[in-house]
């Protein structure tokens, strides 16, 4: 039976394929694409720390999902969690020196997978794709 392709379906298929490919590439490192994403966000955040609530918003995932990812990264020594001095109920995730080293080491794997995904698109097409994806994201948040 033939089915109709929709933008949502294609985006989901691309996301799934990207995640699978990146997870396979990261397998030796012991990280998942979500974990490397958290390290990347923390590495690029001023102060290299964020509230767990902010990570939920950035990754559009639930609180239990963020807690699980953060806990696994903390077990590996790549981040640490501390209480927010301004509100002791709030946990902050901070990237550690080891986390920064790991992110720098695995960053090339992520970039390579990104390049593979847009292979065959000109630079102008890649910029246009990014522009359109940002519009789609803004339409839904």
pLDDT (tens digit per residue) in 30-63: 999 899 999 999 999 999 999 999 999 998 889 9
Average pLDDT over residues 72-93: 92
pLDDT at residue number 1: 60
Count of structural domains, the chain: 1
Average pLDDT over residues 59-86: 93
Q: The CATH number of the domain where 35 resides is what? A: 1.10.10.10
> Using CA atoms, how far apart are residues 69 and 61, in angstroms rounded to an integer?
11
Note whether residue 133 is domain-resident.
no
Instruction: Strand 79-84: give its sheet, edge to edge.
Output: 49-51, 87-95, 79-84
Note whether residue 137 is domain-resident.
no
Note whether residue 117 is domain-resident.
no
> Using CA atoms, how far apart are residues 109 and 132, in angstroms rounded to an integer?
25
Note whether residue 38 is domain-resident.
yes
Instruction: Supply the pTM of this predicted model.
Output: 0.81
């Amino acid at each position: 039976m033939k089915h109709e392709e929709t933008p949502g379906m294609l985006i989901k298929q691309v996301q799934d394929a990207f995640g699978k490919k990146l997870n396979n590439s990261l397998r030796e490192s012991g990280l998942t694409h979500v974990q490397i994403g958290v390290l990347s966000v923390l590495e690029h955040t001023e102060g290299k720390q964020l509230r767990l609530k902010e990570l939920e918003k950035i990754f559009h995932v639930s609180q239990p999902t963020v807690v699980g990812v953060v806990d696994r990264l903390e077990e590996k020594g790549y981040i640490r969690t501390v209480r927010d001095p301004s509100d002791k109920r709030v946990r902050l995730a901070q990237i550690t020196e080891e986390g920064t080293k790991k992110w720098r080491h695995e960053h090339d794997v992520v970039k390579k997978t990104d390049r593979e995904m847009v292979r065959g698109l000109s630079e102008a097409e890649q910029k246009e794709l990014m522009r359109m994806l940002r519009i789609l994201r803004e339409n839904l948040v």
